[in-house]
Amino acid sequence: MPVDHEFTLHAERVAVLCSGGLDSVVLAADLATTAFVYPIYVTSGLAWEREEQAMLERALTAFPDRSHLAPLHVLKASVRDVYAPTHWSLTGAPPAYDTPDEDVYLVGRNVVLLGKAAVYCAIQKISRIALGPLAGNPFPDATPEFFGAMAHALSLGLDHPIRIETPFRHFHKPDVIRRGQQVAAPMNLTMSCMKPVGGVHCGACSKCRERHDAFVEALGSDPTIYAMSRRA
């Protein structure tokens, strides 16, 4: 997409942690209407990252022409030296379709993502970091208290002001899909799966269930292709 150099010169810059899923891609598309977005993907050695990153790269090229977007920047922050080799996120054996959200908890996930991204932002003189946790997120590193404390600690430790923003914190996933429609986010080029098969959602993991149910609630049907068919 063409770069509006005048806008880039004067617009506020924001780094967006993009996983390639619905929430972060819609968030990046939303923010790119008013700010200059620097999408960041952090690789941690998880089983689904290769296909997830490939999908994210496709999505970013499909953003509306009016979007203000820097090239994707990939950071490395492996958890393979702290998670057990048998951990489901490393072996590619995720929790099943009907399991609760708590079963997909990744210890320290946002600590790792934000720590590495904040170092990049300090060097690039970017003060805003946005990510997409939703309402009802049960994890301890997705609370307002955590984000406030983390922003304070990072600002002190990097000697650079860091603001951590969670614009979708009051959204549920159907709300994200509706917002995605409003900003023309390429939701068909998102990956919400912990065991993708050849670039296709597996249809058997709990993230696929969450995606399927949200599309059905928001749109009445789910346009996603699954290796194991899920029909509304």
| Residue where the block lists tokens 């709300």 | 175
- Cβ atoms of 56 and 72 within 8 Å: the answer is yes
With 80 as the cut, is the pLDDT of residue 6 above it? no
Return the domain boundaries, the chain.
Answer: 5-94+106-188
What pLDDT does 229 receive?
73
Rounded CA gap, 54 and 50, in Å? 6
Give the architecture (CATH level 2) of 5-94+106-188: 3-Layer(aba) Sandwich (3.40)
Range name among 66-70, 100-104, 177-181 with the lowest pLDDT average: 100-104
Q: Name the nearest CA neighbour of 75 among 31, 50, 118, 42.
A: 42
pLDDT of residue 127 exceeding 60, the answer is yes
Q: Which two tokens stand for residue 30?
A: 């939303």
Q: Tell how many helices (H) and how many strands (E) occur in the chain.
A: 8, 5
Q: Is the pTM of this model over 0.85?
A: yes
Query: What is the mean predicted confidence (pLDDT) over 204-219?
Result: 96
How many Å apart are CA 57 and CA 77, to the nearest integer? 19
Q: Assign 130 to helix, strand or coil.
A: strand
Beta strands in 82-181 (DSSP E): 128-130, 163-165
Joined together, the tokens standing for residue 154 give: 């990072």
Mean of per-residue pLDDT scores for the chain: 94
- In this prediction, residue 14 carries a pLDDT of 98
pLDDT of residue 160: 98
Contact 25, 93 (CB under 8 A): no
Question: What pLDDT does residue 5 have?
Answer: 52
- By DSSP bridging, strand 163-165 and strand 73-76 are unpaired
Nearest to 29 by CA among 3, 68, 1, 70: 68
pLDDT band at 230 (very low <50, low <70, confident <90, very high): low
Query: For residue 164, what are the β-bridge partners?
Result: 129
Percent composition of the chain: helix, strand, coil (DSSP 3-state, to 5): 40, 15, 45
72-91 residue pLDDT tens: 999 999 999 999 999 999 99
58: pLDDT confidence band, cut at 50, 70 and 90? very high
